[in-house]
Structure 1
Amino acid sequence: MDLDPLLLSRIQFAFVVSFHAIFPVFTIGLASYIAVLEGLFYRTEDPVWSRLSEFWTKVFAVVFGMGVVSGIVMSFQFGTNWSNFSQATANFLGPVLSYEVVTAFFLEAAFLGVLLFGRNKVPPGAHLFAAVMVAAGTFISSFWILSANSWMHTPAGAELRDGMFHITAWGEAIFSPSFWYRFFHMALASFLTGGFVVAGVSAYYLIRGHAVDANRKALSMTLWLLLIIAPGQLVLGDMHGLNTLEHQPTKVAAMEGNWERQGYAPLLLFAIPDQDAQANHFEIGIPGGASLILKHHLDGEVPGISEVPRDEQPPVAIVFWSFRVMVGLGLLMIAFAVWGAWLRWKGRLYDCRPFLQGLRLMAVSPFVAVLAGWFVTEIGRAPWLVHGLMDQAAGLTPSLTGGMALFTLIGYVAVYAVVFTSGVYYLTRVVREGMEGAPETEQGSDRPKRPLSAVHTAFDENGPAPSGR
């Protein structure tokens, strides 16, 4: 049996990226949450905030380590499996990925040590500054990574000459047409991920009756965030989709399962795409829905997948269903945020067991949504590596054989299984052990106590002051 090195290399990179992506999207949001907790503790000296920060910093350290370990090998794959792509794009991707290391990774690595081991050893202001720098580092890192990725989707500021991309305008290349949509979409996804994980763990502790005061505050402040971020992500996602429609219409057509260009295109809720027949089976949809969303009027024309040759079409079924998983989970997140606001208004936020149990399960949903969105974005780009300019076959390493690709794929799966199992085991132990100190009695601080300010009461168990709700 012949082993296709292109297919195996695609599977290998997809596996590595998918495994790695779930860690940064969590640590970006969690780092900002820790910085907020440190700021609240510095301002109010309430030890509740310190205990929450210390607990979530432990979680952050484990997840950050897993992200680093799983992400390093991606750069090696550029050389081992995609050397032609690496050589062709070196003038842009080389500097951009180097900037990410110099400006972000070094920043995170330097201040993470202070954040982890400097509590009660450095001045409180220095510890807060370290938390802010770590959070800033995560966003700087995502800036450069998403700049590189966005350029591959909407290449700008460069021209292809003799098989090499030459930069003609660095500003246009770094800030490609899809960059800001992707950056803010990922930023909100990170906040949603961190928020639902914190809410889920806080709900778990409240069900157990552990550190009730601390976890009520954590749940309250997180639900206020989710009530804003979850609907905001829906709006931003729509803007991102319109940008994709302009620059990658075939991807949008695959997301909608629309094979022929048409007006009054239905918004398909269910269908079984058949790429061989270039048609769908068992369609269930809302007439005119896709035209209304994409063109903002019912008669708007939606592009069709069949407008491009079959060898330039992405795998439609995967893109179609991944998009629906992402959107469905996004709507479910909004529903939980609204449910939480209603329970808060009714004064039942902390004693509604179905809601708390639901939050525990929802802690997994952002990770699934992020992976589904990543599948839509990257599989929907196929067969292009640099959209419209370099396809996957042209970027493959010429000397790579199917056996070599299969061997390394098996190796990655085996090693990552050990990393993931070990990480989840340790995270489970951290969560089960809970926060240090008695469940109801907060441990004191060595620092002198000041009268609490309005910041302290901003996230009390009944909601934000002064409404009392």
Structure 2
Amino acid sequence: MTQTALFLSLAQFLTSLGFMLAFLALELGLAWVLLYFRLRARAGGASWMLAYRFWVRVYALSLILGFAAAIPVLLQLGTLWPDFMARAGEVVGPLVAAAVLTAFVFKSCFLGAMLYGQRRLSDAAHTFMVLMVAVGAGLTAYWIMALVAWTQMPIGASLVDGRYQVRSWLPILGGRLAPTLFGLLAAGGLMVAAALMLAVTAVRTRTRPSDEGDRSVYATGLWLLLACILAQAVLVSNLGRVLLPAQPARAAAVVPQWHSTAPADLTVAAWPDADEQANDWALESPFEAPDWLARDPAGAVRGLDHFSGMTPPVLITYWSLRLALFAGALLALLALLAWWRGRRLGYEPDGLRPWGRGALRLSTALACAIQVAGLVHLFVGAVPYAIHGTVTLREIAAAPGLGAHAAVSAAYVLVYAALLLGFYQLLRHITRYGVVPVARRRGRA
């Protein structure tokens, strides 16, 4: 297989996987936000029911897009990486089956009642349906992130005659990496949901007075955004302590440490040049080389030259992490400013100035950028391995015709771009016109 074909296969698969995980995270975040709204509404708050009725539509949109993106991911596992299941089917098969089964069981049993049965169920029964949908979204996401974590750190299974055999499911499901990645996905989904709530409220109240639902969503979004930023900072720190020592090539690319010599200073920003094995320019940080860089028995730090070409793309690995951190710092600053202004205004969105509304809309773009950059770093930083340290992408890749492969990849990009545009347009429509009441005789919420 040529390098171009391998790149196209990886780009196509990561596009589908990233699209699925992004909307799965948003679905997961909105599911728990809706449960909060529903609990507050059941306690007697009419404004919370207004918020629930609006945001349950957004949840349905994200669910449909996440489900639609999951099908190409499953197909591409067989078409792009046909030998993957032969190598790791004993681990991958049960986790994929658990994710699919959980998604279908919870969505078949509880989702319809949640979306369409509100007027036919008691408040307690409908709240229970919302709870079960949130639990189902969480379980589905956990199985998927456990699989991602295992490919990054293949513990709990042994490679015997070229095939992985499970020794114990406990480290696969409950090791440090799987819960951390799930926590990041959940916190990221809640963060995007909170930023989206603030942006939509800012747009809705620009042309009409706010109602109780807008004020409830605005206050909730401000507090939730701050909490999620803090949670993500803690989880990212924990992920670095777990993942970087286990993947020394990724760690060297993060610095970047080009040569196996004395440790280089961790740079704030640089432009790595893989051909020259050096940085074209760099802005040095005042911090010393981190402890998680791998060292040889003599104490010298292992640079990228130590790994004999089995290194991730340095430029993408380096900058995806920096972009996520820079966007996170800017989002934290905007969130603190918005929270401070919100408290001064009594959480009244009508008092927002035009620059404040623009900042809230920018926060949504930053929250999405953090998730995209984080996913890119997680997956691209593991290249050239499909299962870290043992199975490479080249070993399991198919060999399709280059022309057909490029055409299919372009088609996927166009389809996903159209779906994103459709999601944006539908969100813009319901933001502008609100929730259209449905006839009572049809029994819909």
User: TM-score scaled by structure 1?
Assistant: 0.86
Call closer, same or farther: CA 1:32–1:283 in 2, change over 3 Å. Answer: same
Deviations 1:425-463 (A, max 9, x none): 2222122212469xxxxxxxxxxxxxxxxxxxxxxxxxx
CA drift at 1:348 = 6.7
Call closer, same or farther: CA 1:416–1:366 in 2, change over 3 Å. Answer: same
CA drift at 1:283 = 0.7
**Contact preservation (8 Å) 1:156, 1:177:** no
Matched, 1:66 2:65: yes
CA drift at 1:21 = 2.6
**Contact preservation (8 Å) 1:155, 1:176:** no
Partner of 1:419: 419
Matched, 1:335 2:336: no
Question: What does 1:275-290 align with in structure 2 at a 5 Å threshold?
Answer: 275-290=274-289
Call closer, same or farther: CA 1:261–1:180 in 2, change over 3 Å. Answer: farther
SS at match of 2:119: coil
CA drift at 1:22 = 2.1
CA drift at 1:253 = 2.1
SS at match of 2:120: coil
**Contact preservation (8 Å) 1:51, 1:436:** no
Q: Using the TM superposition, name which of 336-345 and 137-146 deviates more.
A: 336-345
Partner of 2:440: none
CA drift at 1:369 = 1.1
Partner of 2:441: none
Give the partner amino acid of 1:237: V
Partner of 1:431: 431
SS at match of 1:135: helix
**Contact preservation (8 Å) 1:265, 1:301:** no
Partner of 2:118: 119
CA drift at 1:177 = 4.4
Give the partner amino acid of 1:419: L
Q: Using the TM superposition, name which of 91-100 and 4-13 deviates more.
A: 4-13
Call closer, same or farther: CA 1:412–1:228 in 2, change over 3 Å. Answer: closer
Call closer, same or farther: CA 1:3–1:329 in 2, change over 3 Å. Answer: closer
Extract unaligned runs of 5+ from structure 2: 438-445
Partner of 2:249: 250
Partners in 2 of 1:244 and 1:323 — Cα distance? 13
Aligned length: 429
Partners in 1 of 2:261 and 2:214 — Cα distance? 52
Partner of 2:396: 395
CA drift at 1:406 = 2.5
**Contact preservation (8 Å) 2:266, 2:287:** yes
Call closer, same or farther: CA 1:59–1:291 in 2, change over 3 Å. Answer: same
CA drift at 1:90 = 0.8
**Contact preservation (8 Å) 1:92, 1:167:** yes
Question: What does 1:97-112 align with in structure 2 at a 5 Å threshold?
Answer: 97-112=96-111
**Contact preservation (8 Å) 1:42, 1:124:** yes
Partner of 2:9: 9
CA drift at 1:240 = 0.8
Partners in 2 of 1:135 and 1:41 — Cα distance? 17
Partner of 1:36: 36
Give the partner amino acid of 1:411: A
Partners in 2 of 1:411 and 1:344 — Cα distance? 44
Partners in 1 of 2:148 and 2:100 — Cα distance? 16
Partners in 2 of 1:301 and 1:184 — Cα distance? 35
Give the partner amino acid of 1:135: A
Partner of 1:325: 323
Percent identity of paired positions between Structure 1 and Structure 2: 27
Partner of 1:458: none
Q: Using the TM superposition, name which of 84-93 and 205-214 deviates more.
A: 205-214
Give the partner amino acid of 2:290: S
Partner of 1:456: none
SS at match of 2:325: helix
Give the partner amino acid of 1:327: L
Partners in 2 of 1:170 and 1:19 — Cα distance? 28
Call closer, same or farther: CA 1:261–1:178 in 2, change over 3 Å. Answer: farther
Give the partner amino acid of 2:28: I
Call closer, same or farther: CA 1:150–1:275 in 2, change over 3 Å. Answer: same
Matched, 1:92 2:84: no
Call closer, same or farther: CA 1:4–1:329 in 2, change over 3 Å. Answer: closer
SS at match of 1:165: strand
Question: What does 1:25-424 align with in structure 2 at a 5 Å threshold?
Answer: 25-44=25-44, 46-260=45-259, 265-291=264-290, 303-310=302-309, 312-347=310-345, 350=349, 351-353=351-353, 354-397=355-398, 400-424=400-424
**Contact preservation (8 Å) 2:82, 2:396:** yes
Call closer, same or farther: CA 1:345–1:39 in 2, change over 3 Å. Answer: closer
CA drift at 1:357 = 2.1
**Contact preservation (8 Å) 1:272, 1:280:** yes
Call closer, same or farther: CA 1:427–1:368 in 2, change over 3 Å. Answer: same
CA drift at 1:342 = 2.2
Call closer, same or farther: CA 1:345–1:407 in 2, change over 3 Å. Answer: closer
CA drift at 1:303 = 4.9
User: TM-score scaled by structure 2?
Assistant: 0.90
Partners in 1 of 2:292 and 2:230 — Cα distance? 16
Give the partner amino acid of 2:320: S
Partners in 2 of 1:162 and 1:417 — Cα distance? 42
**Contact preservation (8 Å) 1:305, 1:313:** yes
Extract unaligned runs of 5+ from structure 1: 438-469
**Contact preservation (8 Å) 1:84, 1:395:** yes
